[in-house]
Amino acid sequence: MAIRLSPHMTVMQNAAQKAARSLLRDFNEVEMLQVSIKGPGDFVSQADIRAEKTIRTELERARPGYGFLMEESGASGAENWSWRWIVDPLDGTTNFLHGIPHWAISIGLQKRNPNGEIELVAGLVYNPIANEMFWAEKGVGAFLNDRRLRVSARRDLSTSVFATGIPRVMPTEKLGKSFVKTVQTLMPQIAGLRRFGSAALDLAWVAAGRYEGFWEFDLKPWDVAGGIIIIKEAGGYVTDHHGNALDDMGLSVDIVAANAALFPQMRKIVEDNTPDKA
């Protein structure tokens, strides 16, 4: 039986699926893409830009007046927005440009409450290659297409697989040392560590129980906004390395996510090796 989507989630999924059609066409002709360089190791393609425009058009048409925070075009809309979309039209751009079929569209929705508190209330991560739509709404649950999601039930680090993002360039030497120390501490205790190149999908896979946990430093809100609520609604935990909630996040995001049993251990390992404790 198909799940009846809320109006917000209907709009989000329709926008993601429409953008996915052009991304899939471009992916099949990846060698023909025009690619410009934003910075070392940070590529942007015409596919990114087209997908972002498609998503913005669809979301704006359905919900005029909502704010935006988007990877390519930045923040827009009223400063005192009540609702805001956070969009990454193509997470895993380097994979995409190399013909690696592991990339996704991520959309999160924030709400500003009357008391000024900001919360993430809906999110999706869509992998068009596999036609896997991970999505969640606050209080509704997390789903993969029509199937309800739950995080992994594993309780021992020794049987667990974790994911991370291996940074190509560290913002500071201290942060680089922190990442290495975290890996050195964690690796001997776990079954495996993975780096697949899309933080949005890493978070979605934690929610689906494919990974037990994920951490990374210095991400952007559009990398994680869709995945955060999916993990929380699937029964997992997501904070920064100090245990602070990430509903109202800055432009640099340190994130730790794991199932309920392993989150305290995971967060402590990361916190003990972060720059302010190094």
pLDDT at 258 over 70: yes
Helix axes 46-62, 7-28, angle to 10 degrees: 160
Q: CA–CA separation, 97 vs 91, rounded Å? A: 11
Q: Following DSSP, what letter does each residue of 124-154 receive, concatenated?
A: EEEETTTTEEEEEETTTEEEETTEEP-----
74-131 pLDDT, tens digit each: 999 888 899 999 999 999 999 998 899 999 999 999 999 999 999 999 999 999 999 9
Residue 278 has pLDDT above 70, yes or no: no
Tokens of 68: 């935006």
* Tens of pLDDT, residues 23-68: 999 999 887 777 777 765 567 788 999 999 999 999 999 999 999 9
Q: Work out whether the CA dihedral 85, 91, 96, 97 comes out positive or negative.
A: positive
Residue 71 has pLDDT above 80, yes or no: yes
Q: Which of 134, 210, 216, 141 is nearest to 175 (CA)?
A: 216
Name beta bridge partners: 37: 43
Average pLDDT over residues 131-137: 98
Give residue 168's pLDDT.
66
Strands 213-219 and 104-112: unpaired
Distance CA 238, CA 248 (A): 13
Higher pLDDT, 278 or 197: 197
Total Cβ atoms within 10 A of residue 141: 16
Q: What is the C-alpha to C-alpha distance for residues 41 and 97, in angstroms, rounded to an integer?
A: 12
Residue of 95, 97, 123, 124 lying closest to 111 (CA atoms): 123
d(CA 21, CA 19): 5
More confident residue, 3 or 76: 76
> Do you know the residue count of the chain?
278
pLDDT at 174 over 80: no
- Per-residue pLDDT band for 1 (boundaries 50, 70, 90) equals low
Q: Residue 77 corresponds to which tokens in the numbers above?
A: 């809309």
The pLDDT of residue 171: 56
**Which CATH number is 7-148's, of 3.40.50.2000, 3.30.540.10, 3.30.450.20, 3.40.718.10?**
3.30.540.10
Residue 260 confidence (pLDDT): 97
Beta bridge partners of 213: 162, 258
DSSP classification of residue 76: E
Tokens 């667990």 belong to which residue?
160
Q: Where in the chain is the domain with CATH 3.40.190.80?
A: 157-277
pLDDT at 170: 57
Supply the pTM of this predicted model.
0.93
φ, ψ (nearest 5 deg) of residue 124:
-145, 150
Asked if residue 14 has pLDDT above 90, the reply is yes
pLDDT tens, 191-238? 999 999 999 999 999 999 999 999 998 899 999 999 999 999 999 999
Cα separation, 103 vs 87, in Å, equals 14
157-277 sits in which CATH class? alpha beta
Of 266, 244, 269, 272, nearest in space to 155 by CA: 266
Distance, in Å, from the CA atom of 20 to the CA atom of 243, rounded to the nearest integer, reads 34
Q: Which tokens is 214 given?
A: 């994920």
**CB-facing half-sphere around the CA of 128: CA atoms within 13 A:** 27
**In the chain, ranges of CATH 3.30.540.10 domains:** 7-148
